[in-house]
Amino acid sequence: QVQLVESGGGLVQPGGSLTLTCTASGPIFSIIGMGWYRQAPGKERELVARVNNGGGIDYAESVKGRFTISRDNAKTTVYLQMNSLKPEDTAVYYCQSHLYETMTTWGEYWGQGTQVTVSS
């Protein structure tokens, strides 16, 4: 089955940096897009950044200029480089992907989440 596995979360001081990595594996015919969402305690899950197969990228306003999303050449791994981190970036970060398992079967998949805590 398709799996999205995240890594790279942790504790960092304000102003610091972290890089999150997400790799998709399993029966994948084609990936339409990949992205990162986050959910802070008591808040709804929100989009952080996403990239589609055409190279189009969207960022949440709150992270523009600080976070950078990228994909590897095989397009099965997505990265989120997070700089100038703020306490309000503290959340569980989830990898998400829309992909085709076969030529006609597609779905939305989520990783298990990785905790990012920004605190002094």
pLDDT tens profile 35-59:
999 999 999 999 999 999 888 999 9
**Sequence-distant (≥ 6) Cβ neighbours of residue 55 within 8 angstroms:** none
Rounded distance between C-alpha atoms, residue 78 and residue 29, angstroms: 17
Task: Report pLDDT digits (tens) over 53-92.
Answer: 888 999 999 999 999 999 987 779 999 999 999 999 999 9
Q: Are strands 18-25 and 10-12 parallel, antiparallel or unpaired?
A: unpaired
